[in-house]
Structures are given as C-alpha cells and as structure tokens.
Structure 1
Amino acid sequence: MNKEKIFSLILTGCLVLGTTFPAFAVDAKKTNTIATNNPVSKDNKNLKFSKEVAQKKAKELLQKYFDIKIDDKDFKCNLTLSSYKHNNSSYSVWNIYWHCDSYNKETVIEASLDANTGTLISMHKNEYSKASNVSIPKLSIEEAQKISDNVIKNTNPSEYKLCELSNNKWFSNRVNSSDYSFHYVRNLFGAKYYDNYITVTVNGLTGKIKSYNFNWDKNIKVPPMPKIDLSKVCEDKFKNEMNVNLKYNLFKNKYQYENKENTKNIKLVYEPSLEKSNFIDATTGEFIKDSSIDNYNVETIELNPKEKTTLYNKYKNLENYKKPLEKAEALKLINIKIAELYGKGYTVKNLDYREYDNSTKSNENKTWTAHFTKELESKNEKTKNKEPETKEGYIRINALNGEIVAANLYSYFDYNEKFTPKFTWKEGYYKAIDLLGKYYPSRVKNIDLKLTHREIIYTENEEKEPERFYRYHFTRKVNNIPYDNDSIYIEFNTKTGELSEINCSWDDNITFQSPNKKISVNKAKETYFNKYKPELRFIWQNTSKDPKNLKRELKLVYALDNKDIYVNAFNSKLLNDYDGEEIKFDISEFLNEIKGSKAEKEIKILAYKGLIDTKDFKLKKEVKNMDLIKTLVDALGYTPYLIEMKNSTADKLANDESNSNSNESLLSKEDYLKMAKYYGFIGEDVENFDADKKVSRETMCKALIKFLNYETIAECKDTFVLNAKDSHEVSKENFGYVALAKGLNLIDLENNKVKPKSTVTMEDLSLSLFRALENKERSYGIVPMYR
C-alpha cells in the first residue's frame, strides 16, 4: 500500500511536469491436564462429532461469529484428536488446521471443537501479507473493546454476564503489534475464578477477531460463601507476614541488545515476599499451606562465626597482569588447575583465546578456553559399552588474572542406576567452601554463605532415589545487600564424588548505589499495601497428603499477588519487573490534557503502545530537537541491536561515556544522539548538535521521511509539486521532503498554507508520528535475547 501511494505521488508529479514514466487451544500446560493425541482415522464410536461433522460445524461457527469463510478449494485441512483429563473429568477435542498460501498472502486458521458437545473452544487466524504488516493500530483500545464485548455477547451470552474484564494497563514496548488482547475472568458471587476465562484478540487495523479462547467448567461445584467478612483480618495477616527484602536488581534495558558493562540498569529495590503462602482461607482466616512442602525435608546451613573468620582470612585482592596471558603461560596454568580440580592424566585440546569487549560480565572480557580429555582404563566385557572410554570436560580462565571463569567435567550416567552418594549434602557444602577459599579468595567477603537444601521425602513403599548432583549457588552481596545476577556456582557428582562444575559469573565494573539514603522497610511495605489489596478468589486446593492420589477441592481464599513488583528503595515508587520503570496506575492527568485535541485518538493509541510518555505530556509544548530525536528513536523500538553489530566493526559510532546507572532514565542524551546518527536523523557532527533548537514544520517533515526510509524519493526535487500558498517559503533542500510528507498526509495545511518555518508542538508531532507509523511496515528484524 505504501509503495502504491508513493508511486501514485511520483506519477502525478511526472504528469504535471510533462515527464513520461515507464496469519481453547486447550490449555495443555496446566499440570492437572493430560493430553493424548490419537490418529483421526481411529474409530471413535463414543464421539458425537466425527471428524467430518466437526470440520463442517467449525466452519459454520467461524463464519457465523467471526466472519471467516473457508473455501475447501483454496484451503488445505488437517485434523487431530486429543483426549484430556481435567478436574476428574475427561473429554475429547478436535483440533482443526486450515492453510491457504498464495503469492501475496498466507492465511492460517486454527480451531478447537469439543468432540461431544460441539462447543467452540478456541479460534486463531493469522494472515501474513503487506496489508497486515502495519506497525500501529487504527482502532483505539475503547473501540477494540466494544468489538470484543459484542463477540462474546454473541458467542457466550450467558457466560459473558458472569465475567469481568481484567484490569487494562498502559503497556510499553508494544510498537511491533497492532493487536489488542482482552481477558475476561469468571466471577463467582463476587470472587474471581481465574481457571475459567474467555480471551479475545482484536486486529487493531481491521477490527476483525484474530483469536478467541473459551475455557469454562459448566459443572463446577461452588462451596457456600462465608457468613463473616474476614477481608480486614486477612489484610492485616498479610501485612504482618510479608517481608520486603532489600536487594540490587538488574532490569532489562530496552534500548540495547544486551546489558553491557557500565550500561546495566541496576536499581536498589525492596522485593515483597510471602514465605507462608499467598493465600488465606476466607472462611477460617488461616494461611493455606502448600501441600507439596510436606514432601520435602528442608535443610539450611551457614558458617558459624569461627568458620567465617577462617574463610575471610583467605581473602586477598584480585590483581590483574600487565597484559593478557600468552598461550604458553595459559596452557601451563590451565594444566595446573585441571590437575587440582580433576586429577592428573588429562590432555588439553583446542586452547582458544577470546576477547569480548561488550561482554555482560567483566571476567569474561578476555579468556582462554580449553577442552581436555583422559583415556580410561580398559574394561572387562561386563562393563564394556556401559560407560564411555574417555572422560572429558572444558575449562575457561580469565586471561588477565588467571581466575577460573568456568570448568566442567562431563558426567555420563544411567538414571536407573543404583548407587550410594559418596558424601552428604552438608559435607558437600564444606567442600564447596574450601573451593571458594582456594579459587575465589577475592570474592569470599562478598557472597551469601547461607544455603537451603530441599530433599524429597519417600514413603515406606517407595524406593529412594539418591540425588545425582549436589548444587551450591552462592549469591553476590554488595554493601551486605544481595545482587543475584552475579554468583559462584559449584556442583558435585554424588556417585563419583567429583567436582562436576564450577562457575563464576561476576562483573567488577558495576557502580552500585549507596544504600545510605534508602527508605525504611515499613515505608516500603506501606507503599505496597497502599496500592495492592488482597483479592477474593476461588482456587483449587489439594487436600490429600498422598502425591499419587490427589483430592482437589474448590476453596474460597484471599489472595495477594506480590510477584514481579518492586519498591524503589529511594523514592517509594512501584516498579515493574521488566525495565524497572514506574508502574503507571493513574493517567487521568494525561487523559484530561489530550481531551478534545484534534489528535486525541492518535495520541491515546501512541501512549498505549508505549511511544509517548504520559508523564508531564503537554499538547502545546514546543518541540525541540532533542524531543524530536527521542520520539523517533523510541518509535523504532528494538532496532538499536544493529548498533551493537556496527560497533563491532571498524566503522564505530560515537563513544558513549554517559553514566547509565542513573535512576531517572535508561537512555542518556548521548545514547539518543548515537542512535539518531545511526538511523540517519542527524549528521556526523554530533558534538555540535543543537539539542535545544526549536523544530520547524519542514524540519519535522524531513525527519519523518527519513524515519520512513523514503529520503531517496524525496531527493527527487523536480518530481514534486506542492500546492500551497506558501510553498515558496519551503527551503529548496527540503522541498521534496515537505511535498512527500504532504502527499502521505503526514501534515495538514492551514488555510492552504504549509507554514514551513512555524514551530511544531507535541500535538503536531504526535499526529504526524502516528500517520508516519501508518505508512511504516512492522519491523521483523532481530529481536534481543536477554540474558
């Protein structure tokens, strides 16, 4: 569509100038649901719907409720039959798959149908074409919700009356999707039952339903509601039992492929946690214990003061060499460490040196890595072929100081083999402590030495299976505060007693904030409970102590969700678990600001997609160069991954010397300029970039055309005609950009005037950005894989 529009513009210009122009799936992830696929050719006499009838029924429902017509001439069809067990009931489901492929479009349609009742459980339609590849929806969230509501009123009218829509949030980082998803949860007498739900996804471009999922238990037995309201009692119990633990937490940095050294988004936070349970019985007011806890013996261990002193006496600074180890030096050191860790007789192979300037861990920037093997003694015929004839492993050391980064001795074993562990978990703990003192003396004062071990309890009739490995995970502590992204991991093979793995994941280049000005624990807890209250809901509870014979009952509880939420330890703001940004609960000021604007709908969509910061947004604010740069860079989403690739070549971009440990912004001014230069929004002279200069309309037009990668077309100056009274006021070098922007409807004329020198407002920029995104295809480039 975009190319056709541009072609039309060029063709028009050429004619004026006299120039010729030659795409319920049943929730099988639930632990209490078992699915088995059966061949559809099998005679299923007990099913009401055969595969032919099911296929016909599904097609009728898709056309009736979702306006999806399937032509057997164009679509190929596959079917599978799955059997499920859920809450002591069994049922079968037909999973039907249609596929149609043509030159311009590929369509995939999936539907699941109850094989006995004919109920449509789920539907999903995906179309892959240029027309479905736009990066911004045309519908607002309110318009999409109306469509979703109407669909459920038609497909499930009785269930719709028993549902309520889950709270919508203003999400960020969703620029690459033009869809809206809505999740309706069943409400039983004022309590939510999350196991029953209806979900709908609406295509924000077409208004068509993209997916539908119906998960409902019509035979549910609801226990009687309690006569006494214990909400206040339960809230007080949650407050008393909740811990808010201080920690340094690493959040994702949405502007980078990886969290590089010195650019890590680390914040000091309080993390809410409940050790007893997240549920309190709404009838008794008692915490509901997780029955699986009874199946384990829990053992906690920590060094006593005398043992700690002995370990801490081994402390010494880690000093780097003047230059990385040479190959001969590295080989000699690696041979020594292999012999110490695993014994003699190993031969080093494949010794490699590697440098990673952008490594996420400073101890992995420059390393030597080697594989090693050892021939085992010949075996008699009884043991031959049961075990390998060689032992092998690998080791990696820091080339700057010789510290072991990682080492592993591969373990070959038979899960059914019977053996007795060489030592206990507690004895292994002290072996691990010895290794810490020997190989990581500079780390011993900065790790948490307290560990917990969970061992399965076996009944009298069960044969005990020994643990194959003992694992010890020592978390880093800074200012006596845990930072669990760095740690030392030690693992033993319990059959052989050998060290199977040791790993040090550590970054010495991080500057951690001082906790001196942190808020109190009580203040953090108060902040959390000011926003989050216990919710009345129904859950399934196993009341049987026999893990092989579950007895599940529906229980009314008060639930408190404390996962994935943090409290900023300095300003009490609630943060999300993704990028550590403040959770925005109230956007009323923003909505009032944009109410009545000519771009109200467009601005609201941009905000919902995370492209406009709702905080301090003002319609009439005059746009400066830096505002324009930030807006366009943010609108391009994850593309900064390409900068990391470009930085690895000789053609590097401007150096970033900013302090990105700031709590206020994930991306500094310098970061934005570096990325804007890469995208081509600004030229080579980054140092002299005038960030405070006000943006004119013609400057905005030029930036948006570059944003769309249409600058080559815009440079064809003699091709375009700009029908405006003040077209002569447009700078000659920007004429093609302004004319193309007008042709693409990125800007509006006032009294047939462009007003090219007028300053742009945030209202103008928002509307023009939205229209630009309507012309921009969604990016399917490489998406970051976070560590």
Structure 2
Amino acid sequence: MVFIMKRKSFIALMLVGGIIITSIPVHANAMSTVVAEAVTKESVQNNSTEDTKLQENLTKIITEIKKKVTIPTDCTKFESNYYGAEYGKGTQWNLNWYSEKGSHYFNVVCDDNANITYINDRDYDKNDKQEPINYLIKELRPVADAFIKKVVPDVWGHVTFQNATYVGYYNNCYQFEYVRTENGIVMPDNTITIQISTADKKVKQYNANWLFGLSIPSKDVKISKEQASQKIKKQVTMELKYLTKWSEDGKTRSAYLVYAPSNNYIAVDAKTGEVYTSREQWIETSKNDSAVQDTANESNADAPSLTKEELAQIKELKSLITKEQAIEKVVKNKYLLMDANIKAITASLSGYRLYGNENEKQYVWSISLTDPRVPDDSKNDYYRASAHATVDAKTGEILSYRSSVKNADQMTPEELEKAKTKLSKEECAKIYEAFAKSQNEKQFSNTKQSSVTPDYIYDYIKEIPVYGGYTFGYQRVNEGIPYADNYFSGSVDSISGKVFDYRKNWDTAIKFESPKNAMTPEQAFNAYIKLEGYELVYEINTVHKLVKGGDINGYIENSYSMDYQPRLVYRTNINPNTISPFTGKQLDWSGKVYAPELKKSVDYTDIKGHKYERSILLLRDLGAGTGELKFRPNDVITGKELQSLAEKLFYEATRDDIKLKSSSGITKQQLAKYSVQILGYEKFATMGDIFRCGYTDDAKIGKDYYNYVAIAKALKLFGNGQEKAFQPTAKITRGEAADILIKVLNSSSR
C-alpha cells in the first residue's frame, strides 16, 4: 500500500497509527454506497464512481451478515461505507440499516471476509420509555454465549468468560466480557464484549477487539515463572515515593508512602527469555527523517474575576500589592522572555480558599500581555507576541508564566543568525534554576530535577526538527523521597536564554508520612511480583514499518504497513501497582489496602428460597452487592447500610441533605420519604395538605412523612397499593430494603 505524505507530517501519521488500531471504524476518506431498496431485497446499484468489484463484495458481505444477525423489521433503509486497508489496518465495511423516520439504527462493522467486529442496535423511541430490570446476569449469560456461537462460530472455543457488570443506568444493559484463550493461556489483547438488555434479553451491542486469522505460537514454555521474575528484577527498580490522600471529611490532605515499579510494563519471552519493555516497534528505513515529537503549547486560562463585594473586601487588605506592582514584577523580570512589542496589558485580581486550609485565602493577580499591532500580511509581518502570568498578591511571587515563541519563519535575519549559537541544555537549566530560586528559594531547595525534554520546534533542517528550548521538571522531595504532586516546571528558550514557561504546584499544609522502618527496594519487589496480574499470557507486539521512497516535487512517497506479532510472555500487568513500604500489602488509589471485589457469580449463602431472593440477587448484579457471602435478609437494615446500597444505584442518594447516617434501624415511613427524595418527587411532597393515604393507621404516620408515604403508595413501592394498614414505624429488614430499592429503580426515569 502506497500513499503520498507531505514533508514534516510524519507525526500526523504516528498519531493516526495510534488511533486506527481500535475496533471502531475511523470515518475518514470513505467511499459510500447507498442501497435504496428495502433490506429484504438488497441489490447493489451500479454506480459509475465505484468499482464493480466493490459492489460484488458488498453483495457478498450483506448476504453473509444476514446469516449471522437478524435485522430489525422496521429498519428498511440501508447504506454502507467502505474503508480500504489504510495504515496497516484491514479492509472494513460499515453497514447501516435504519427505520423510515430515522429513530432506529442497526449498525454492523465487519472485515472483507464478513467477520463481524461491531454491532450496535439503537432504538431512540424505545430509549425514551421506561424499561424494567427483569433479568439476572446468570439468566442472560446463555444469551451472550449463543450470540457468539452464531455471529463468530470459529471464535467459540477460543474464548473464556471473564465477568459481567451492569453498565448503565440509562441503557439498562448487562455487559458480558470474554477474553481470547489459546492453548489454555489467556490473550488479554483480544476480547469480546456483549451488552444485553435486562428488560427483554435483546443484544444491544457487540464489540470484538479481535485479530482474525492470526497464527498463535505453540505453548512451548522454556522459562519458568521464577526465572522470568529474576530477569524482571534486574530491569525494574522499586521506587519509594509519596502520593496524596484526603481525610474522610475532605478537608485535609496528607502524603503517604508507597513503593511502585519504575516500569509499569515489562515482559519476558517464555521461550527465549528476552526482556521486552515495549509492545510497539517502529521500523523506518529512511536515514534522514525521524519521528517528530510535537509539544503542544499550553496556556493558562485567566483566573475568574471577583465580584464587587469580594473586591470591596480585598481593598481593605492593605498588604496586597497593587496592579501596577504586580505588572512590574513580570515585565521587569530579567529572566522572562518578553517581546519588545508587548504593549497591551490587562490585569484582574482573584481570591479563593486553599484546599485543605479553608481558613487561608490566596489572592492572585492574573496578567495578560499582548502585542496590539495589526498584522501586515503584505509584508509577511503576522507574528504577534502574547504572554500570561499570575502573581501572588501578598508576596509578589510569580506563580506562573507563559509566553509565545517565534519559529524560524517569524524571525528576523538577526534573530536567525543568533539562533546558530544556541545555549546548551546545562546552560538553560542554570537559567531556569536561577529564576525559580529568585521566586521562592526555600521551596525550590526542596526539589530534585526529575525530567529534561526538548521543547518547541522552531525549524527543520533537511527535515530534521530543530528544537528551540528545553523543558525542566523538578519534583518536591521529603527526606530525599519524591512527591510528584508538588513540583516546579518550565521551559527556557535556548536562543534568547529567557524563561518562556514557568509553573509550580506547592502545598504548604501537606503532612508527610515518615519513611522510618520502610522495607528495602528488594523486599518491596518480592512483595510486588507475588501480586495477582503477573502471569503467563499471549500478547500482541505491533510492528510499524515505514519505507521512504523518492522525493516528488516537495512530497515524499512512503510505503507504510503494520504487522501484528503474537508472543508468549510472562507479563507484569499488576493493577494497582503500589504497595505499602511497611507491610508489603497492595494499596488502592486512596492509600487503603486493596481488596478485590467479590465476583458477582458467587451467590449469597443465606437467601436460597427467601421471599426476596430475586430482588437481593438483582441488587447484587446491578453492582450494589455487599461484598460478603451472607446478606442477612431478615436483619433490620440501618441507615448507614441502606445509604451504602443506595449510593451504588442512584446519583440522587449522594445528596448531603438526604443522606442516611444513622446506625439505628430504618422505619417504613423513613424509607418512604428517602425513596421519594431519590426519585426527585420532593416538590410534590411539600405542596401542602393535598394527599390522602387511605390506610387504617393513617393517624400513626408522622406529619413530616405523610405526603411521602402517599406518593410511595401511588408508586406501589411497599406492596400492590391495596394494603389496609401501613405500619409506619415498623422496621425495614435488609431483604425488604432490597426489594424496595429495585422498585424505586424501576420507577425512576432512565
């Protein structure tokens, strides 16, 4: 496959190459064919703009697809898109059936051999209607299995069921996940997911991230798991570092210690023992060109302006520097890159509370600087400089700065001449450090350089990028241990020797955990490598090949291909990958000991034959299980327990003003009010004395609960609505709560 690519556009190819390997089609440069007749009578029309072979292939594809899937009867319209084998991806067909009024769409994506990779059945009319949750995961699993057997029969026998989850409150589906398995070994890079409606058992979506026709290596394992771990040990360094966690009330932060591997991905070939640190391989035969790394220019948005009331209070704080003083801190700073033509300057003052220290308020001057001259295209004079800065209004410290920089096309002959003698990386580092120290020497002295990368590209010489500066990163350290959430970073222009980017993030109130008694890196590795996720798998190594041809009138003719190479490896796919340096236990993102969720296929041991067994299992399948083997259906449910279950089902349940925090049992009238609040019917319940429940014990219902109970009765949340008495102060059991939560869910709008 050959295509024409402009000079300097290699990065664009790289980006595209990273996108198109997904199973979703890329809608670009497609040739479209349209069939006007109903799908029951497809006969592809001849089109003078399209190849006859393409039409023949479409006929074959439609015929094969209809053997595997059933097209909805109301989807009588049809059109298709064809995607050629571009950028190493195989041929794809995108087939679309849709209803006359355009509310129902049935989409199928397949390759040229009619191997289906994607199906989506979207009925917008049906989505507007309330659909109940009728089925359990175990009742729909056979539907998913049968669908795979029919749609991709050759794949069945090469997949293993992984798990199933309720994927959406709005689409009301369970998603079933399968992973490719060859020779008894999983291949995580190839998966199948199927979404099935819990209302009517219909398949709503199918997605196969699958490489068809792939030759799988034999199970010829010559390296043991222990031997592989020793090879990994030589390549991986366990790094002790700080991460941030919040207190339970969300008001304070602290830095806790973890050990984490220096390389998140590393694998060892199970046959040869070769160590891999990447699954992407680039092969380029050109001698002159190289991949261009594009660094996007970032700019800080203006901080929001204060209200008149806030500004009035700020004026009372005589210690704040003035607008003129703040501007002077920036424009007269000898280290900053400041174009001589920058004349237009605006500044606004903002104030806000600091996270974790609510009693302290920070005031910041936000300063914008621009060149107001009108561009003169007739003289090719179009570059206009701009910059933005923030300054601490109490201390005068520059908190951030960002300035535009010129590329070679925008430079004067004098500037181009100066660019021939750029400063070295080390010289730029000294300039940046001097500037950072001039702003806050105490904080900067507690950092360590963590990264140095080339910054913007200002020119190309023989298609090789020429960088105009360097970006430096400095992480905060405590007792020599890095804390990545606090840092100084920025860039220095190696042509002018000026700082054009500067940022920092620093928490003065953070509390650091002491590293005393932390284990050694070797001990940490031994604990890490034992975690679940280090296993023998088949994985895909993607080989990108670019062969450059001759120069054609300023364009380069290239040939690009992509090859997928499966290999059998021991791989560190451990997640989360952090462990405690004191206990060696795996930690989650919040710093707590990681506890894998109980698989949904495990049934509770104490609900068999119970009145509310089905509701309890539905609750579990929807993701609101307890994580325990016993549900205790006859125990009275407490406010905290009910709140924990409800938050997993309803966003409204997270409202602070309705949260249940009691450790006591919940009454029927309390649950009635809570249910109505979750459903969003509160405004009706507070309309006054307009409801009548009609129970024989109405007088026993609390005044604050009466209207809520009436609405709950109308919704049949506590029975069929024909009950004589309500028993408002009776305690709710856990089984009853499960049943009512399911009814609330089916009464809500999705």
TM-score range, shorter chain: 0.7 to 0.9
What's the CA shift string for 1:418-454, capped at 9, x where partnerless? 9657123233222222222222312223322243558
Q: Secondary structure at the match of 1:283?
A: coil
The residue number in structure 2 matching 1:698 is 669
Distance 1:751 1:380 in 2: 82
1:39 equivalenced with 2:31 (yes/no): yes
Question: Which letter maps to 1:614?
Answer: G
CA contact (8 A) 2:240 2:258 kept: yes
User: Among 722, 725, 740, which residue is 1:768 paired with?
Assistant: 740
User: Among 157, 162, 182, which residue is 1:161 paired with?
Assistant: 157
The residue number in structure 2 matching 1:744 is 715
Post-superposition shift, 1:575?
3.9
What's the CA shift string for 1:345-370, capped at 9, x where partnerless? 64351211122336699999421111
The residue number in structure 2 matching 1:423 is 423
**Aligned pairs (5 A) from 1:76-155:** 77-85=78-86, 90-96=90-96, 98=98, 106-114=103-111, 116-128=112-124, 137-155=133-151
Q: Secondary structure at the match of 1:490?
A: strand
CA contact (8 A) 2:366 2:391 kept: yes
What's the CA shift string for 1:640-693, capped at 9, x where partnerless? 6xxxxxxxxxxxxxxxxxxxxxxxxxxxxxxxxxx432x5x68xxxxxxx8344
Question: Which letter maps to 1:269?
Answer: V
Size of the aligned set, in residue pairs, is: 660
The residue number in structure 2 matching 1:676 is 656
Question: Normalising by structure 1, what TM-score?
Answer: 0.71
1:203 equivalenced with 2:216 (yes/no): no
Bigger strand share: 2
The residue number in structure 1 matching 2:380 is 385
What's the CA shift string for 1:156-201, capped at 9, x where partnerless? 2221111112x33879x96566322233232222333344433212
**Aligned pairs (5 A) from 1:294-373:** 323-337=319-333, 341-342=337-338, 346-347=342-343, 349-357=345-353, 365-373=362-370
For residues 154 and 573 of structure 1, do their structure 2 counterparts lie closer, same or farther at Cα, with a shift above 3 Å needed?
A: same
Distance 1:212 1:31 in 2: 14
Post-superposition shift, 1:39?
2.9
What's the CA shift string for 1:529-588, capped at 9, x where partnerless? 143332221423649898978776432222221355332456655344589783424469
Q: Secondary structure at the match of 1:777?
A: coil
Q: Secondary structure at the match of 1:159?
A: coil
For residues 393 and 452 of structure 1, do their structure 2 counterparts lie closer, same or farther at Cα, with a shift above 3 Å needed?
A: closer
What's the CA shift string for 1:61-85, capped at 9, x where partnerless? 5xx635633433xx5x553221124
User: Among 234, 242, 261, which residue is 1:272 paired with?
Assistant: 261
Q: Structure 1 stretches of 5 or more lacking a match?
A: 1-25, 298-320, 641-674, 683-689, 779-787
User: Among 557, 573, 593, which residue is 2:569 paired with?
Assistant: 557
Distance 1:343 1:65 in 2: 64
For residues 451 and 630 of structure 1, do their structure 2 counterparts lie closer, same or farther at Cα, with a shift above 3 Å needed?
A: same
The residue number in structure 2 matching 1:536 is 537
CA RMSD of aligned residues (A): 4.7
Which one is further off, 750-759 or 439-448? 750-759
Distance 1:444 1:150 in 2: 62
1:464 equivalenced with 2:464 (yes/no): yes
User: Among 64, 68, 75, which residue is 1:71 paired with?
Assistant: 75
What's the CA shift string for 1:449-468, capped at 9, x where partnerless? 24355899xxxx97532224
**Aligned pairs (5 A) from 1:623-702:** 623-629=637-643, 631-632=645-646, 635-637=649-651, 675-677=655-657, 679=658, 691-702=662-673
CA contact (8 A) 1:252 1:265 kept: yes
Distance 1:758 1:442 in 2: 63
Question: Which letter maps to 1:373?
Answer: T
Q: Secondary structure at the match of 1:325?
A: coil
The residue number in structure 2 matching 1:622 is 636
CA contact (8 A) 1:324 1:399 kept: yes
Distance 1:732 1:190 in 2: 64
The residue number in structure 2 matching 1:687 is none
Q: Secondary structure at the match of 2:437?
A: helix
Distance 2:97 2:494 in 1: 48
For residues 755 and 450 of structure 1, do their structure 2 counterparts lie closer, same or farther at Cα, with a shift above 3 Å needed?
A: same
Identity, in percent, stands at: 17
For residues 241 and 612 of structure 1, do their structure 2 counterparts lie closer, same or farther at Cα, with a shift above 3 Å needed?
A: same
Question: Which letter maps to 1:623?
Answer: I
Question: Which letter maps to 2:736?
Answer: D
Distance 1:134 1:478 in 2: 55
CA contact (8 A) 1:279 1:560 kept: yes
Q: Secondary structure at the match of 1:602?
A: helix
Question: Which letter maps to 1:111?
Answer: V
CA contact (8 A) 1:170 1:607 kept: no
Distance 1:709 1:379 in 2: 59
**Aligned pairs (5 A) from 1:173-212:** 178-212=172-206
What's the CA shift string for 1:228-264, capped at 9, x where partnerless? 36333224433564433233334799x99xxx8x455
For residues 707 and 524 of structure 1, do their structure 2 counterparts lie closer, same or farther at Cα, with a shift above 3 Å needed?
A: farther
Post-superposition shift, 1:632?
4.4
Distance 1:144 1:117 in 2: 29
User: Among 21, 44, 47, which residue is 1:30 paired with?
Assistant: 21
Post-superposition shift, 1:503?
1.1
The residue number in structure 1 matching 2:311 is none
Post-superposition shift, 1:501?
0.9
Post-superposition shift, 1:398?
1.7
1:214 equivalenced with 2:208 (yes/no): yes
Q: Structure 2 stretches of 5 or more lacking a match?
A: 1-16, 34-48, 285-289, 292-316, 549-559
Question: Which letter maps to 2:350?
Answer: R
Distance 2:627 2:115 in 1: 43
